[in-house]
Amino acid sequence: MTTLTLSRALNEGLRKALEANAKALIMGEDVGKLGGVFRVTDGLQKDFGEARVIDTPLAESGIIGTAIGLALRGYRPICEIQFDGFIFPAFDQIVSQLAKMRYRSRGAVKLPIVVRVPFGGGIGAVEHHSESPEALFAHTPGLRVISCGDPADAYTMIQQAASSDDPVLFFEPKRRYWDKAEVDTEGGLAAALPMDSARVLVEGSDLTLLCYGPMVRTCAEAAVAAASDGRSLEVIDLRSLAPLDVETIFASVRKTGRCVVVHEAVVTGGLGAEIAAQVTQECFYSLEAPVLRVGAYTTPYPPSRLEEHYLPDLDRILDAVDRSFGY
């Protein structure tokens, strides 16, 4: 076991992916000589060369369009979108072409492309650097949408994404890039949890907390805080947002009878709404209270001085837990 930050775990996972397949390559703005804004690709161009770690022009639509062409010729591109808010120039390429090519060709054409997206707030950034657009892509059939919550998952999931024959949107919680944890860098992927499976992070009996990405650590902290009040919270890291691991979700809610969904994204139309609908539909007779959602307010992302009031935090999660027990 090696102690790594989440960003370093991604770096090691990308290195493994490049070593495992000569057709894999990395492309994006400043991913080569600079090593990426968050240094996730640091040192990879030096070791693998400019033909496999490619500094692209500042043109997200061009990055994804070029990646699609490369994938059609047998390559496996791993694209970096520098910040979440920069993905929208490439939105048409992703939802109109990348998501639909395999279906359109009846499975004859595969586009094994990974699109890495640092997402979420909490770093005091300027406008367009703290978005949470994952629901837009989870709404689009044909895309796998996943998000890591800790270094161990970052290391394995990026390798699993790189080996997938489906296009994968890989959302990385940028506020957690510097979190450290032990990572098994010697073990292979055979024993790793599949990337489309949820993980029971904390076992509990009184209420289910569903979360992903940047909120995983916060919800784990909420479980510790709630335990001091005698409440046992089960925390589930969703990991896969499309498809959802509904079996794990339903099993937990049927056990606890209560459910709170937490994400940084705006509550209105967010992934929590879809989860709440499915849980209510399938677990109705097990629920002791309505499914509650905790997320950002329905406004554009505010200036950085206000983001601590805008984003969900420990107090807002515990308030939702209290409200659930108040029904």
Q: For the chain, percent helix, then strand, then coil, each to nearest 5?
A: 40, 20, 40
Q: State how beta strands 114-119 and 168-173 pair.
A: parallel
Task: State the catalytic residue, choosing from 128, 129, 139, 263.
Answer: 129
Is residue 163 within 8 Å of 13, Cβ to Cβ? no
CB of 304 within 8 A of CB of 126?
yes
Predicted pLDDT at 188: 84
DSSP track, 162-224 = HH-SS-EEEEEEGGGTT-EEEE-SSS-STTSPPTT--EEEE--SSEEEEE-TTHHHHHHHHHH
The amino acid sitting at 163 is: S
Active site residue 139: no
- Separation between Cα atoms, residue 290 and residue 271, nearest integer Å: 16
Q: Which residues of 66-103 are buried (b: 16+ CB within 10 A; e: fewer)?
A: bbbebbeeebbbbbbbbbbbbbbebbebbbebbbbbbe
Each residue's pLDDT, cut to its tens digit, for the chain (327 residues) gives: 899 999 999 999 999 999 999 999 999 999 999 999 999 999 999 999 999 999 999 999 999 999 999 999 999 999 999 999 999 999 999 999 999 999 999 999 999 999 999 999 999 999 999 999 999 999 999 999 999 999 999 999 999 999 999 999 999 999 999 999 999 998 889 889 999 999 999 999 999 999 999 999 999 999 999 999 999 999 999 999 999 999 999 999 999 999 999 999 999 999 999 999 999 999 999 999 999 999 999 999 999 999 999 999 999 999 999 999 999
Type of residue numbered 125? A
**Residue 128: predicted pLDDT:** 94
Q: So what's the pLDDT on residue 187?
A: 83
Q: Is the peptide bond before 300 cis (omega within 30 degrees of 0)?
A: no
Residue 111 carries which side chain, given as an amino acid letter?
A: L
> Can you list the domains of the chain with their CATH numbers?
2-183 (3.40.50.970), 199-325 (3.40.50.920)
Model pLDDT, residue 1: 87
Q: What single letter denotes the amino acid at residue 153? A: D
